[in-house]
Amino acid sequence: MRSVCVAVTVFILAAGFFLLSATFVRANMNSNSFTIQYNNTNMTAGKKTSGTYTVTDTAGETAVGQYSSAGYLVRSGFQYVYTIGRFTFSISNTIVDLGTVTPGVFQTGNSTLSVSAKGAGGYTVTAHESYPLRVPGTATTIQDTTCNSGTCTESTAAVWTDPSKSGFGYNISGNDVPGAFVDATYFKQFANYSANEPPQIVMSNAATVKNRQATVTYKAAVIGSQAGGTYENHITYIATPGY
């Protein structure tokens, strides 16, 4: 009976020692060439070193993380953001109905852009149009606006309050929008993708941010000689996190 008790005690002590040592090993694994320190509750995280590099990674999900071997190195997320969040982009009112565009009257529509870049080093949203507003299948277009003074382009904003100046353009107001949109009277053209104009920034912030919103106002005006018809185009917004 006594020997059984001794055996059980030895077994418990051995098991306890094994569990303790296993815990210690899990907290701090070392070898001559590789060190892993776990200091984060994510899937993998912490500081990793080898003879040639030191890495702090912030992986948090299956198939996301760092893989290092003799031949490749992958770092996911940002070194200075330990909790990886989702980068989210939303557009309200996907279809902006400009109604029946009549000469001498502005037609407008709105949509709201929302960005959540918590867990990412800032963000940028760019915009471009597929082509100027046009009757599908024809070459009949409403040209992009040049504003009151004929000076606004895809990169320069200007006042557009005169509906006798025909065209199509946009204003944007809210968080992180370009300073060129001084107030609601300032408009720009969308960059024309079919003419190889580069997409233009409509929202950007270098900081980690959450719930940033801006309202885009689309505006169209025509003159009396504009051909009748249903005009349309597509605006593509590209939202990306920082790098």
Partner 1 sequence: MAKRYRYTSRTQTIIVVLIMAIVFFVYSTKIQAQINQRTSLSITPPLSEIMIKPGKSITQAFTVKNEGTVDLEVTPSIVDFSPEGESGHPIVLPNNRSFPFAQLQNLDKALDKPFVLQKGTSEQLVVRIAVPEQAEEKDYYQTLLLSTKPINLAELGSSTSTSYATIGVHMLISVSKTGMDLGSLNIQAFRYPKIVDVFSPVVMELVAKKNGKTYTKAHGEVSITSFTGTVVKLFPILPENVLAGSMRRLHASLPDPEDNKNALSAEFEYRPIVLFGPYTITVKLFSEQQQPEERNYSFVALPISPALFLGALYITIRIVRKKTKPRM
Which residues between 122 and 151 bind partner 1 (CB under 8 A)?
Answer: 122, 124, 126, 129, 133
Per CB under 8 A, the list member of 37, 49, 87, 148 interacting with partner 1 is 87
Per DSSP, the residues of 101-120 read --TT--EEEEEEEEEE-TTS
Question: What is the rounded distance in angstroms from the CA atom of residue 84 to the CA atom of residue 235?
Answer: 30
Give the nearer residue to partner 1 in terms of CB position, either 40 or 143. 40
Interaction of residue 52 with partner 1, rule CB under 8 A: yes
Question: What is the rounded distance in angstroms from the CA atom of residue 176 to the CA atom of residue 2?
Answer: 77
- N-to-C CA span, the chain: 68
Interaction of residue 64 with partner 1, rule CB under 8 A: yes
Give the nearer residue to partner 1 in terms of CB position, either 129 or 212. 129
Interaction of residue 90 with partner 1, rule CB under 8 A: yes
Interaction of residue 206 with partner 1, rule CB under 8 A: yes
In the complex, minimum distance from the CB of residue 165 to partner 1, in angstroms, rounded to a whole number: 18
Interaction of residue 231 with partner 1, rule CB under 8 A: yes
Give the nearer residue to partner 1 in terms of CB position, either 177 or 220. 220
Interaction of residue 84 with partner 1, rule CB under 8 A: yes
Among the residue ranges 3-11, 12-20, 51-59, 179-187, the one whose residues contact partner 1 (CB under 8 A): 51-59
Per CB under 8 A, the list member of 121, 141, 174, 192 interacting with partner 1 is 121
Cα–Cα separations (whole angstroms), residue 197 to 43, 158, 163, 173:
43, 19, 26, 23
Interaction of residue 59 with partner 1, rule CB under 8 A: yes
Whole-angstrom Cα Rg for the chain? 29
Give the nearer residue to partner 1 in terms of CB position, either 133 or 157. 133
Query: Taking CB under 8 A as the rule, which mask of x and - marks residues 6-35 in contact with partner 1?
Result: ------------------------------
Q: 12: helix, coil or strand?
A: helix
In the complex, minimum distance from the CB of residue 9 to partner 1, in angstroms, rounded to a whole number: 43
Instruction: Count other C-beta atoms under 10 Å from residue 13's C-beta.
Output: 10
Question: What contacts 4, CB < 8 A, 6 or more positions away?
Answer: none
Using a 10 angstrom Cβ sphere, with 0-12 exposed, 13-18 middle and 19 or more buried, the burial of residue 108 is middle
Tokens of 225: 């000689």
